[in-house]
Structure 1
C-alpha cells in the first residue's frame, strides 16, 4: 500500500537549513496517536506484581519465577514475529495486517489479565496458572502489533529530520500513555478496582489505535532475494552497531522497568505513605516533565549531538537524577527527584527508535533489503530480557529484606530494601548503558557517509524503476 504525501511546512535539518518532508503532518500525527494505545497496556502491566502479589496475595517467589520464564518466552518469539512480518505479503502490506488484526485480541486479553477470578490465599496454583496463561496470550498478540507498528517508522519516515520530528510527536503522545498506564492505575484501582481499571484502559487504547490505522502506509519492498530465517538471524547478530544499541536499550528498560515496578512498594514501605495517590503524583511528575522536555531535546540537543551523543547525555542525567531517592524521606523530596528523572527520561524516549532506524538503514546498505521486522523483533528479543532482570532483582531484594505480603506489619529492613531497589539497580543500568554507547560506530563522519550512500542508492533505484 502506498500513499501520496501532500507537501507541508519544511523541517529544519541539523544545520538550520530546510528540508521538505516526505510525509504530511497528518500522517505523522496519526502515526503518533497510535502510540498512546500501544503504551497504555504495556505500561500498566508494570503493576502485575503489585496486582498479583500485593493485592491477590500470590507468593512473590512464584510470581518472580513466572515472570522470568515469561520473559524468556517473550524474548524468543520476538525475532520470529519480526521475521514473519518481513516476509508477509498481503493486500494490506507486510506490517499493517499485524496491527489491523492483532489490536483487538491483544486488548481483550489485557483486560482479562487484570480480571483474575482466583485468590493467592485460597487457590494459589489456579491463580498462578491463570496469570501465566493470560500473560503469554496477551504478549503474543501485543508483540505482533507492536512490531508491526514500530517497523513502519523507518519505512514511512526516511530522514533524520523527519524521524526526529515524528519521534517527538509519537513520544509526546506516549507520555500521556505513560501517565495513564503508570501514574493512574494505583489511584484508579483504589476507586473502581483493578479489573474495571483495565477494561477502561483497553477501551481508550482501542480508540487511539483505530483512529490512526488509516494513516499507515507501506513503500514498495525490496526485490532482492529474501534471507532465510537463520541467515537473517546471523546477519542481525553480527551487526555490531545493532548489538551495541540493543544492549544500551536493554539497560534503559531495566532502569525504567525497575522504577515502574517498585514505585508503589517504595511509596508504601520506604516513605510510609498509604494509598495510591502518592504513587500517582510521583509518576505523573516524571512523565509530565518528560513530555514537556521532549521538544527542547528534539530542537536544541538532538540536532547538535546526534543520536549517540543525545542518548549518552540522557543516560548520564538519568543516573545522576536517581541518587536522591536513596536519601529523601518525604513526598516532596521524592517528587522533586522524579521531576529531575523525567527531564532525563525525555532524551531516552526520544532517541531510542531514531537510533535503531539508523542501524536498519546501515543494514540496507549491507543486505540490499529493508528488514525492519527482524531488527525490531531482535531488539524485542534482547530488551525483553530486561524484565527478567527486573523480576530477579525484585525477588532477590524481597527475599533479602524479608518482605512477605501476608504480614500485617513488614520487617524494618523492607523499607531499606525497596529504597535500594529504586536506586542502585537503575543507576547501575544507566551507567552501563553509557559505557556501552561509547563503542557505537555510527556517529560523526561515518554516520554522514552512511546516510549519503543510502540516499544515492535509493535515488538510483528510483531512477531504474522509472526507466
Structure 2
C-alpha cells in the first residue's frame, strides 16, 4: 500500500512546476495557495487521526478511512493535472480550480494516509519487527518516490500532464486495493477514549513527540525543497532540458535510497538506535547537498543526488519507527493506544513544511526576478534556484540534528519503556 500512497503524495511536488511554469499561474498566487492548503492539511490531520482513535465499526478503527476514501482521493489527484484554464487568459478561474480540487485531494488523501500509518505501531510491536517491516515497507516507498518524483517531468513530455495524472492514479489505486486485504487491527482498548482537547493536551505535553515531529518537519522541508526546485534548477541553473535530466537526477537519489535501506537497517540502526541513526542521516544529507552550490554540469549534480539518496535512506527507515516508540511511551502515560492522534498530529506539524517550502520558493522567485511569462529569465534566476536547492535544505538538516540532541527517549530510558510495556502486557494478557 505504501507504493500507492507515495506516488500521488510525491507527484504533488510538481504542482508548482505545472501550474506556474506550464499553466502560467502567478508565482505569488501559487505560493500563497499552497501555503494555505498546507495549513488546512495540517489542521485536518489531527482531527481525522482523533476520529480514527474513537471509531468503532465492523472494519475496525483505521481500515474504514482507507477503504472509503482512496477512490475519491485519487480522482481528485488526477483532476489536479487536468485543468482547462491558463494563467494568461483565465488566471482567476485557474486559481479557483486549483483551490477546489486541491481541497478534495487533501481531505481524502489525509484520511487514507493517517489511517494507514496509524496501523504500523499497532500491527508490529518490537523494535526488531518495526525496523524489519520498515525496511520492506520503505523499499516499496522508495519505488513510489522514484515514480512520484522522478517520472512526472518525463511522462508529462510523453503523454502530457493530464495523462501522467491519470496513469499515476490508476497505479496508486491498484496498489491500495492489493494491500487492503493484508491490513489488520488488534482488539480495541477498554479505556474510555480521550476527548479531542484532552488528547491534544496530552500529545503536545509529550516532549519526545515534540522533538521527533520537529525533526521530521525539517526532513520533509529538505526533501520537499529538492523535489520542488529540481526542475527549475536543471532548467535555469544548469541550462539543461528539464524533463529527462530532472527524471535522471531524482531517480538516482531514490534508487540509491532504496539500495541503502538494508545497510542502514542491518549495520547502523541496531548500533545507534532510532535517535542516533536519524542524527547521522540528517548530518550526511547536509554534507551531500554542498556540491549543488558549485556544480555546473549534470554529472556533478548527479553525484550530489546519489549521496543525498544514501543519507535519505536512514531518514526514511527511522521516521515511523521512532514515532512508534513515542506512542509506546504514551501508552504507559495514558493507558491507551492513540496511534491515530499521534500520526495525525505528526501530519499536522510536518505538513507545515509544505507551507515553509512554498514561502521560501515565493521569496526566492521574487528576489531573483523569475517570471514564467518571460521568454528569457534575468541572470539572477540561475543563482536564485541554486540558493533554493542548497541553503534552505542544508540549514534544515543541521537544525534537525540539533533538535534530536534533545530527544529524551533513548538509551536507558528507552529500554525501561520497552520493558515496562512488555511487563504490562504480560500482566494484563491484553496485546493492544
- Pairwise CA distance, 1:221: 1.6
- Pairwise CA distance, 1:159: 0.5
- Pairwise CA distance, 1:461: 1.6
Corresponding residue number in structure 2 for 1:288 = 255
**1:187-198 alignment to 2 at 5 Å?**
187-198=154-165
Output the CA distance in 2 between the equivalents of 1:453 and 1:164: 20
Corresponding residue number in structure 2 for 1:8 = none
Preserved CA contact (<8 Å) 2:231 2:242: no
Give CA deviations for 1:394-418 in whole Å, capped at 9, x if unaligned: 0000000000000000000000000
Corresponding residue number in structure 2 for 1:156 = 123
Corresponding residue number in structure 2 for 1:200 = 167
Preserved CA contact (<8 Å) 2:5 2:176: yes
Match of 1:391 among 354, 358, 363: 358
Is 1:456–2:423 an aligned residue pair?
yes
Q: How many residues align?
A: 432
Any stretches of 5+ residues in structure 1 without a counterpart? 1-33
SS at match of 1:423: helix
Output the CA distance in 2 between the equivalents of 1:460 and 1:92: 28
Output the CA distance in 1 between the equivalents of 2:261 and 2:11: 22
**1:261-410 alignment to 2 at 5 Å?**
261-410=228-377
Give CA deviations for 1:206-248 in whole Å, capped at 9, x if unaligned: 1111101111000012101211100000000000000000000
1:111–1:404 CA distance, 2 compared to 1 (3 A): same
Corresponding residue number in structure 2 for 1:52 = 19
Output the CA distance in 2 between the equivalents of 1:275 and 1:136: 29
Any stretches of 5+ residues in structure 2 without a counterpart? none
Preserved CA contact (<8 Å) 2:63 2:115: yes
Give CA deviations for 1:362-392 in whole Å, capped at 9, x if unaligned: 0000000000000000000000000000000
- Pairwise CA distance, 1:275: 3.8
Corresponding residue number in structure 2 for 1:440 = 407
Output the CA distance in 1 between the equivalents of 2:416 and 2:130: 18
Output the CA distance in 2 between the equivalents of 1:206 and 1:291: 22
SS at match of 2:245: helix
What is the TM-score when the length of structure 2 is the normalising length? 0.99
Corresponding residue number in structure 1 for 2:51 = 84
Could you say what the CA RMSD is over the residues aligned between the two structures, in angstroms?
1.0
Output the CA distance in 1 between the equivalents of 2:2 and 2:357: 24
What is the TM-score when the length of structure 1 is the normalising length? 0.92
Output the CA distance in 1 between the equivalents of 2:80 and 2:348: 22
Output the CA distance in 2 between the equivalents of 1:380 and 1:342: 23
Output the CA distance in 2 between the equivalents of 1:101 and 1:169: 26
SS at match of 2:336: coil
